[in-house]
Chain A
Amino acid sequence: MSAELALSPRRPLLLRRFAGVSPVIVVAGTVLALIVLAALLAPLIAPYDPNAVDLMSPYEGSSPAHWLGTDASGRDILSRLLYGARISLAGPALVIACSMTAGVLLALVAAWCGGKVDAVISRLIEVLFAFPGLILAVVAVAVFGAGFWAPVVALSIAYVPMVARILRSVALRERNLPYVAALQIQGVPAPRIAVRHLLPNLMPMITVQAGIGFAYAMLDLAAISYLGLGLQPPTADWGVMVAEGQSSIIEGYPQESLYAAGAVLVTVVCLNLVSGWVAERYDVRGAEL
């Protein structure tokens, strides 16, 4: 058995790590990496200023000068997509960072303390659950005005219950394992057990949740931008671009909406695939234990 297990010792680490991973996941992962890279390098690789208006050449089709054509104001769609990736990815990233932090904290406290504390946090989560994220965002915009921040803050709050509820159940199972009891008997302080032991063991689940949440946040933010409640034109943002391109569709030039919607779609699908894969790997590992 050991001889068989010791197969392929010479393959490079990276290849070995991803041996047996389905090609679909490899493609999805690569696409995601490229999108992030494009967002980071937008100023270097974008052929035009995303907001440079050229009224002489609206609605151009794909050409060597404009790979994806131009919009109603003659702006280069590719450049707008590349710059748009920055804000379209930054929004969900912020939402996830905030909601994950709050959710993990609530989950750990609820799972650790149990009893009344758990009951209060659980009820709080249920109350928050009753507010649909989009409605909360619309209300936030009505109160604080449209822009980048209001929807991000609203969604950060709206996503907390989803994260907290799932992680609480996982944390609760972990907390009741005997190794935690052993640490308690040793006299390890509770915060240390939570941070040094529970958190690392919850990390796979947190990663999965973050991936799925990111995709949701991206769709929700795009929808808010599309409704005109989030980012405002002429900001280059995928949601804004879909909305702006709407009027052009009637004129027979669907490219702006199409490409922007396509970018959202591709990102979300790739994210779902990759986070699903992480979840599966986690399951396999869990079965080993």
Chain B
Amino acid sequence: MNTPRNHEPPPLRSSSPRFRGHPEMTTLDIQDLRVAVPVRWGSKTILDGVSLTIAPGEALGLVGESGSGKTTSLRAVVGLLPRGATRSGTIHVNGTDIGTLSKAELRRFRGTQTAVVFQDPRAHINPLRSVGDFLLENLVEVQRKPRAEAERTVRGLLVDVGITDPERRMRQKPYELSGGLLQRVMIAAAMAAEPSLLLADEPTTALDVTTQEEVMAILDEQRKARGLAMLFVSHDLDLADAVCDRIAVMKDGRIVEELGAEGLRQQASHDYTKALIAARPRLQVSVPSGRPYDEKPAAAPLLEVAELRKVYRVRPATGTGHEDLVAVDSISFGLPRAGSLAIVGESGSGKSTTARMIVGLAQPTSGRIVVDGDEWQPGRLSSAERRRRGRLVQMVFQDPYSSLDRRQSAQDCLREALAVHGHLPKKQRDQRVAELLDQVGLTAEQGRALPRSLSGGQRQRVAIARALAADPSVLILDEAVSALDVSVQAQVLELLDRIRRELDVALLFISHDLPVVQQISDDVLVMHRGEVVESGAVNDVLSAPREDYTRRLIDSVPREGWQPRRRRTTPAAPDPVEVP
């Protein structure tokens, strides 16, 4: 076990004498925590003997894949377990056993000793009340501070988290703030209670990578300045590595290994940890491709997009009438046969809209889409025309849960896709279904299963098989691996790469994830606010970015030796605009 590497344990800050601990005491001490939840028949073990301690001022990263029990561990500390869950083992916070607290004491304990920052800030703030109300609530209602003093405190806190105009923000409603700004508000709210333990549950997972860096930098800075202990739950080993003193790796409700954050990769001894490290592609920024990139490659690319533009008519945030929102601004690119091109960008950059226009789910405002020498006319598509295009271009979506009909088994889904593109005799069709399942690495038994009994990765394989049923030349992958755990992600990426090589399918990869893009793609297009800011061979762009935005994007990616830094003094986050 390591000692905190950052600073001396600071004095405990606690406003309630009832819970005050001794300086030598650990801030969080979990011993043999077991949690089970009732399922339809019997119960399911979620935590199977978790023990961990966090010293004052220390940060522990709890890392694992979905279903490993990391979030449940965090929620157990504040008594937020699912209904009907049974719990054994002890949890001490500053020496107080939270199992012995009455309901009222537990509430007070939560309000004064701990603070939680959740993944989705928007789901954890009352949308009808102002940001100021939300921030003042704990100070006024729980800590019984006079209102004027509380307001002063809150203004100070907002400035601390990098919000330059606290008065205006306090008057605003949550929907007027962007996700990154709202997460800063949540951090300020967490600090307001002057807790000694900060619980952060994937606080930046829903944010863009550049925003993630800002928010992480602020969280890290505030935590260190206030000497808080932190339990940091994340699926991202690199990110946890950057902001924590120690890392605990969880799998199936157990902590399989605990490591000091420094030299994590060298120390890792457990197979699972090693696999986790190996599965995540590492961003390499100094390997030029050594091959020329041509903006208009190969005489006749398979897919050619020219001056493509999409303008949405939106209602402005203030005033009446409408204004134009340019989602995609005159972009052009070409994708050669069996090529691999990635479009990277943050949310709102127009990358998904581009994909949707190519498959005909959205109508371009202007511009040309040429596939295999055939210019696709805009306008309402008949299903015959859609079928014709479907045999050339197919798409796989991000969310493996909602991209399959939940009442249809995998093989029925494939049969239907095959039936659309021509009538095969039953025997041949079933043979082709088996072939498709085999191509994406699913067993016949998995083929008979309904989506709900398949994992996220298996579902995504079904979605890929469905796209392949039409035998397309281009496969568009709209964040197709973003929702998957790293180990599953690695397998799906491998599958996609094999499909490209063996079936000569060109991949258009829409993603925000640079390391993944570097692994799967040859060329890359960086989009920012609807425009292409830079394009080229992936390794060239990553090793020698020409544009500041690209550089910022690259610098924000957590990797070995990376530390989050605040790059902006003022939050330049625009108010969110709803795209219809």
Hey, which chain A residues are within 8 Å of B406, CB to CB?
Answer: 201, 289
The minimal Cβ–Cβ distance linking A174 to chain B, given in whole angstroms, is 10
15 CB < 8 A contacts A-B: A4-B42, A178-B402, A178-B403, A179-B403, A179-B404, A183-B416, A184-B386, A185-B393, A186-B387, A186-B421, A187-B387, A187-B388, A190-B383, A201-B405, A289-B406
| Bound-complex Cα distance A190 to B45 (A) | 44
Which residues from A are CB-within-8-Å of B390?
185-187
- Is there contact, CB below 8 Å, between B41 and A182? no
Contacts of A178 in B (CB 8 A): 397-399, 402-403
List B29-50 residues whose CB lies under 8 Å from chain A: 39-45
**B361 at interface by CB-CB < 8 Å:** yes
Assess whether A4 is in contact with B403, with CB atoms less than 8 Å apart: no
Is A251's CB within 8 Å of the partner chain B?
no
| CB of B246, distance to nearest CB on chain A (Å) | 29
> Taking A185-B395, A186-B390 as contacts, is the C-beta distance between A7 and B402 under 8 angstroms?
no
Taking the complex as formed, is B549 at the interface, i.e. its CB lies under 8 A from any CB of chain A? no
What string of 1s and 0s marks CB contacts (under 8 Å) between A168-196 and chain B? Answer: 00000000011101111111111000001
Beta-carbon contacts under 8 Å, B345-397 to A: 359-361, 383-390, 393-395, 397
- Closest residue to A16 on the B side, CB-wise? B41
Q: How far is the CA of A157 from the CA of B493 in the complex (A)?
A: 54
Which chain A positions have C-beta within 8 A of B41? Answer: 4-5, 7-8, 19
A23 contacts partner chain B, Cβ-Cβ < 8 Å = no
When A and B form their complex, what is the total count of cross-chain residue pairs whose Cβ atoms lie within 8 Å?
Answer: 88
B residues near A234, Cβ cutoff 8 Å: none
User: Which residues from chain B contact A187 at a C-beta distance below 8 Å?
Assistant: 383-390, 420-421
Q: Could you tell me the distance between the alpha carbons of A288 and B40 in the complex, rounded to whole angstroms?
A: 12
Residues of chain A lying within 8 A (CB to CB) of residue B388: 187
**Interface core residue of A1, A186, A200 (most chain B CB under 10 Å):** A186
Tell me the smallest distance from the CB of B66 to a CB of chain A, in Å.
15
Closest CB-CB distance, B5 to chain A, in whole Å? Answer: 37
Interface: A12 (CB within 8 A): no
With A4-B44, A187-B421, A196-B416 given, can you name 12 additional A-B contacts, CB distance below 8 Å? A19-B41, A178-B398, A182-B466, A182-B467, A185-B389, A185-B393, A186-B470, A187-B386, A187-B389, A189-B383, A289-B406, A289-B452
Q: Contact between B42 and A7 (Cβ–Cβ < 8 Å)?
A: yes
What residue of chain A has the Cβ atom nearest to residue B401's Cβ?
Answer: A289
* CA distance in complex: A4, B45 (Å): 9
Q: Does A197 contact B (CB under 8 A)?
A: yes
B466 CB contacts on chain A under 8 angstroms: 182, 186
Q: In the assembled complex, how far is the CB of residue B123 from the closest CB belonging to chain A, in whole angstroms? A: 15
**Interface majority SS on A: helix, strand, loop or mixed?**
helix
A64 in contact (CB, < 8 A): no
Cα(A289)–Cα(B459), bound, Å? 12
Given A186-B387, A187-B383, A188-B383, A20-B402 contact (CB < 8 Å)? no
Residue of A nearest to B356 (CB): A181
Are the CB atoms of B387 and A184 closer together than 8 Å?
Answer: no
Measured between beta carbons, the chain B residues less than 8 angstroms from A20 are: 40
Which residues of chain A are near B467, meaning CB under 8 Å? 182
The bracket for how many chain B residues form the interface is 35 or more
Minimum CB–CB distance for B297 against chain A, Å: 26
A5–B405 CB distance below 8 A: no
B574 CB to nearest chain A CB (Å): 25
With both beta carbons as reference points, the residue of chain A lying nearest to B399 in the complex is identified as: A178
Q: Considering the chains assembled together, what is the distance between the CA atoms of A20 and B40 in angstroms? A: 8
B468 smallest CB distance to A (angstroms): 11
Chain A nearest Cβ from B363, distance in angstroms: 12
B391 (CB) vs chain A CBs: closest residue: A187
Q: For residue A288, which residues in chain B have a CB less than 8 angstroms away from its CB?
A: 452
Q: Looking at the complex, which one of B39, B361, B421 makes contact with A184 (CB distance below 8 Å)? A: B361
Q: Are the C-beta atoms of B44 and A5 separated by less than 8 Å?
A: yes
CB-contact partner of A182 in B44, B387, B403, under 8 A? B403
- A185 close to B386 (CB less than 8 A): yes
CA of A114 to CA of B361 in the docked complex: distance in angstroms? 14
- Rounded to whole Å, the gap between the CB of A42 and the closest CB of chain B is 38
With a cutoff of 8 Å between Cβ atoms, the chain A residues found around residue B360 in the complex are 184-185
Which 9 A-B pairs have CB atoms at the shortest separation, nearest pair first? A187-B387, A187-B386, A178-B397, A4-B42, A178-B403, A7-B41, A189-B383, A177-B402, A187-B390
Chain A positions within 8 Å of B386 at CB level: 184-187
Complex: A5 Cα to B36 Cα, angstroms: 13
- Most chain-B Cβ atoms within 10 A of its Cβ — which of A177, A187, A188? A187
Interface pair B397/A181, CB less than 8 Å apart: yes
User: Which residues in chain B, 404-427, are within 8 Å of chain A measured between CB atoms?
Assistant: 404-408, 416-417, 420-421
Q: Mark B498-513, 1 if CB is under 8 A from A, else 0.
A: 0000000000000000
Give the CA-CA distance A179 to B469 in the complex, in Å: 15
Contact B416 A188 (CB under 8 A): yes
> How far is it, in angstroms, between the C-alpha of A68 and the C-alpha of B547 when the chains are bound?
90
Residues of chain A contacted by B387 (CB below 8 angstroms): 186-187
B463 at the interface (CB under 8 A from A): yes
Chain A contacts with B in 87-109, Cβ cutoff 8 A: none
- CB-CB under 8 A from A181, the residues of chain B are 361, 395, 397
Residue contact A1 to B44, C-beta cutoff 8 Å? yes
Within the complex, the shortest CB–CB distance from A60 to chain B, in Å, comes to: 52
Q: Which one of B361, B386, B467, B469 has the highest number of Cβ atoms from chain A below 10 Å of its Cβ?
A: B386
Residue of A nearest to B408 (CB): A197
Most chain B CB atoms below 10 A, which of A20, A179, A196 = A179
A250 vs chain B, min Cβ distance (A): 54
Task: Assess the A201–B420 pair: CB atoms within 8 A.
Answer: no
Question: In the complex, are the beta carbons of B359 and A185 less than 8 A apart?
Answer: yes
Q: Is the CB of B397 within 8 A of A182?
A: yes
Name the A residues within 8 Å of B417 (CB-CB): 186
A4 touches B397 (CB 8 A): no
Q: Which A residues, 3 to 17, have Cβ-Cβ distances below 8 Å to chain B?
A: 4-5, 7-8
Q: Provide the bound-state CA to CA distance between A128 and B30, in Å.
A: 61
Contact A5:B39 (CB < 8 A) given known A182-B397, A201-B405: yes
Please, how many angstroms separate the alpha-carbon atoms of A155 and B399 in the complex?
A: 42
Q: What sequence of 0s and 1s flags, for each residue 253-281 of chain B, a beta carbon within 8 Å of any chain A beta carbon?
A: 00000000000000000000000000000
| Smallest beta-carbon distance B550→chain A, Å | 29
Residues of A within 8 A of B408 (CB): 197
What is the bound-complex CA distance between A187 and B472, given in angstroms? 13
Interface string of A242-286 (1 = CB under 8 A from B): 000000000000000000000000000000000000000000000
Instruction: Identify the closest chain B residue to A1 (Cβ).
Output: B44
B457-479 residues at the A interface, CB under 8 angstroms: 463, 466-467, 469-470
